[in-house]
Structure 1
Amino acid sequence: MLEVLGLDHWAEVAYFALVDGSPLSVGDLESRTGIEHDALKGALVRLEDRGLISRMAGRPVRYAALPPENAVEVLLLARERDIQRVRALAQRLADRHRKARAGRDSTPLIEVITGPDGVARCGQQLFRRAEHEIRGIDAPPYAQTIDGSMVNSSTAIEDRRVRSRFIHARDAFSRPDATLRIERDIAAGEEVRFLPEAPMKMVLADDQAGLIPLLATPRVLDSCILVHPSALLDALSALFETLWQHAQPFRPGGPADDEAGEFASEEERRIVSLLATGLPDEAIARQLGVGHRTVQRRVQALLVRLGASSRFQAGVLAASRGWWLPGGPE
C-alpha cells in the first residue's frame, strides 16, 4: 500500500509495527516482525529519511512512529509536486515533439505500432483519450499487455460520459468467455451489434485517431497502424457507420415476458440469442459452459416448443413472441 510513497515491503511492515505499539528497539522489531537484521536496519533508515519515524533518547536506541496524519500527508504533498513536475515536463516534451514533426517535409498520417504489448497499450490509450465516442469492430486475434491485461472498452470509459459502440464478428464468439464479457459490456452501457463476418478489426477514438491491424488477416495481433486525422480515417469512420447500419443488435439473455404472458427461461433466451448469431452447437456449448449433447437437446426442445422446423425459424418465432434476442426491435 505504501509503495506509492517509495517504501518497500519491509519498510511497510516495520512502520506498521511501530504504529501499532510503543517505541521499539531494533531487537524488539526483529522479534515482532521476523525481518532479518540487515534488512530491518535498511528499512529503518528509509523510514527515518522520509520523516515517518524518529529515534528516542537513551540506550538501546528505540524508534517511534511519528503521527501518521502529518508524516504521510507531507510525503503525499511531495509526491504530488513530483507528479506535477513530470506532467509539466511531459507537456514540454509534447510541444517539442509537435514542433519537430511540423518542421519535417510532411507530417506522417500513420504510425506503425509493433509488439503485442505495444498494440494493447496503444488501444488502451485510444480508449482513454476519447472524449465523446469509442467505435470499434471486435474480432480475433487479441493483443494483451506484458502483465496479461486485456484491452476492454467498457472498463476504460467507466464513469465517463463517452458513448461506446462495438460490432462483433461471429468469430469473436469463439472465446469461451465471450458471451459473458459482451453481456458485462452491455450492462456497463456499451451498444453491441453483430455481423456474420467483419472486414477487419478496428478502434476509432472520436474522429481523432484509429487503430487497425497491419495485416488484413493476422494470426497474431503484434502489429497495427495508428491512423491520424486524414482521408483514411474518414474512410474508416464511414465504413464503420455502414456496417453498423447492417449489423443486428445483440440482446443478452435476461428477464423478459411476451404479450401472451408466456415466459422463456434465461437459458432458452441465451440459446436463442446465440442461435441467431449463427453459432454451431459446439460453440454455444462453450459459451454456456455445458456439454454439446446438452445443447443439442435444448435446441431440439426449443424447436418443438416453438413449432419450428429450423434454427432460423426458431429465431423468427421467438422474436414474434417478444423473447429478448439479437435482431429484435430496439
Structure 2
Amino acid sequence: MLGAIGLDERQESAYRALVALGAAEVSDLAHRLGLPEADTERALRRLEQHGLAAQSSARTERWVAAPPGVALGALLTQQRHELEQAELAAVLLAEEYRMDADQPAVHDLVEVVTGASAVAHRFHQLQLGAVSEVCALVTGKPIAVSGMENESEEQAAARGVSFRVVVEREVLALPSGIVELSAALSRHEQCRVVDRVPTKLVIADGAMAMVPLTGRGADPAALVVHGSGLLESLTGLFEAVWREAMPLRLAESGGIGEDTTGPDPTDLEILSLLLAGLTDASVAKQLDLGLRTVQRRVKGLMELTGVSTRLQLGWHAFERGWVAR
C-alpha cells in the first residue's frame, strides 16, 4: 500500500512492525520479520531517508518509528506536489506540440465522451461556451439530458445566444413537450417540427458539435467534433433538416395584435399543432381542451377563411400570416 511513496514490500513490513512495537533493536526486528539482520538494517536505513524511522540517541542499535500521521502526511504532500508539476509539464509539452504541428492531429479533431454524467457535463459546457448561436436536432428519447434538465439553454439564451431547434413530432406528444417548447419560444428561440430527425445533434457557433455514439439501453457515449470536414457535414445536415421543417407557433411566442376578428392565441396554437401533424385528439390533450372544443374552433377558422377543407385552411393560414412559413 505504501509503494506509491517509494517503499518496497520489505521496507513497508519493517515500518509496520516498528510502528506496532514503537521502538526495537535491529536483532529483535529481524527476528520478527524473519529477515537477516543486514537486510533489516538496510530497510531501516531506507526508512530513515524517508523520515519514517530514526536511531535512538541513547542506543544506536535501537530504532524508533516516526508518527505515521506526520511522516506519511509529509511524504504524500510531496508526492502530490511532484504529480502536479508533472501534470503541468505534460500540459505545456502538449501545447508546444500542437503549436509546432503544421496541421492539427486527427485525435485533436474529435473526442469521445462516455458515461451519462460525463455526456451531460460536456453537453452543458457546449451550450454555456456558445457566443452567438446554438443549433440542435431533438428527439423524443433523451439519453443523458432531458428538456426539463437543460438549464444551460436558459442561461445561454439569457446571455443573448440565439437558438434554432428542430424537434421531431414525437416531442409534441410528450407530457412536458408543449411546456418546454412554449418556454423556448418565450425566450425568442426559433423552433420547427419534422416527422423524424436523423440524429440528435447540437452545434455551438458552427465551431463544435456533439452527436451520440450509442442508443437507448447502452451506456451513454457521445462524439464531440471540432473544426473539420465532419463538422461541416453535420452543419450541412442541420441546415437541410431546418429548411424542410415546419415552423412552430404557440400562444407564448406572440399573438396577433389587436385584430379581434382574426384567430385568438388558442386558435393559433391549434393551427400550429395541426400543421405539425398532430391529430385533433392529440391537440386537445396537449392544450388541455375538449375534443369538441378543438373541432369547433377549427370549424370556426374554416368559416372565417371561407374554405371547405383543412388543406385550404392551412394554405390560407400561411397567406394571412397566422403561422410562419
Any conservation in 1 of the 2:173–2:282 contact (CA below 8 Å)? yes
Tell me what 1:282 maps to: 281
What aligned pairs does 1:100-249 form with structure 2 within 5 A after superposition? 107-144=107-144, 150-152=149-151, 154-215=153-214, 218=216, 222-249=220-247
Q: Shift of the alpha carbon at 1:296?
A: 3.7
TM norm structure 2: 0.60
Distance apart, 1:101 and its partner CA = 8.6
Call closer, same or farther: CA 1:173–1:149 in 2, change over 3 Å.
closer
C-alpha contact 1:209 1:226 (8 A) present in aligned 2: yes
| Alpha-carbon distance, 1:247 to partner | 2.8
Residues 285, 115 of structure 1: alpha-carbon distance in 2 compared, 3 angstrom cutoff: farther
Q: Which runs of 5 or more structure 1 residues have no equivalent in the other structure?
A: 1-87
SS at match of 1:167: strand
Long gaps (5+) in structure 2: 1-83
Aligned letter for 1:243? Answer: V
Aligned residues: 235
Structure with the greater alpha carbon radius of gyration? 2
Shift of 1:132: 2.2
Q: 2 CA distance for matches of 1:236 and 1:109?
A: 14
Superposition TM-score, scaled by structure 1 size: 0.59
Q: Alpha-carbon deviation of 1:129?
A: 1.1
- Cα RMSD of the aligned pairs, angstroms, is 3.6
SS state of the match for residue 261, structure 2? coil
SS in 1 for 2:170: helix
Which amino acid is 1:164 matched to?
F
2: CA distance between counterparts of 1:99 and 1:203? 27
Whole-Å separation in 1 of the counterparts to 2:285 and 2:116: 26
CA deviation profile, 1:156-207 (whole Å, cap 9, x unmatched):
3133232222122222212223223222212213222332332111100113
CA distance in 1, matches of 2:290, 2:172: 17
CA distance in structure 1 between the aligned counterparts of 2:276 and 2:142, rounded to whole angstroms: 21
Q: Is the 8 A contact 2:143 2:216 kept in 1?
A: no
Structure 1 residues 283, 94: CA separation in 2 closer, same or farther (over 3 Å shift)?
farther
Larger helix proportion, structure 1 or 2? 2
- 1:95 aligned residue: 91
Letter of the structure 2 residue corresponding to residue 178 of structure 1: G
Provide the C-alpha distance between the structure 2 equivalents of 1:211 and 1:252, rounded to a whole number of angstroms. 28
Deviations 1:224-257 (A, max 9, x none): 2222222111111122223323333323234215
> Quick one: which amino acid aligns to residue 223 of structure 2?
I
Question: Which deviates the most, 156-165 or 105-114?
Answer: 105-114
Q: 1:144 to 1:293 in 2, by over 3 A?
A: farther
Aligned-partner Cα distance in 2 for 1:93–1:288: 59
Asked whether the equivalents of residues 135 and 203 of structure 1 are also in contact (C-alpha less than 8 Å), the reply is: yes
Distance apart, 1:301 and its partner CA: 4.2
Shift of 1:300: 4.0
Decide whether aligned partners of structure 1 residues 307 and 98 sit closer, same or farther in structure 2, where only a CA change above 3 A counts. farther
Q: 1:107 and 1:321, CA in 2 relative to 1: closer, same or farther beyond 3 A?
A: closer
Q: Is the 8 A contact 1:143 1:150 kept in 2?
A: no
Say which SS state the counterpart of residue 134 (structure 1) adopts. Answer: strand
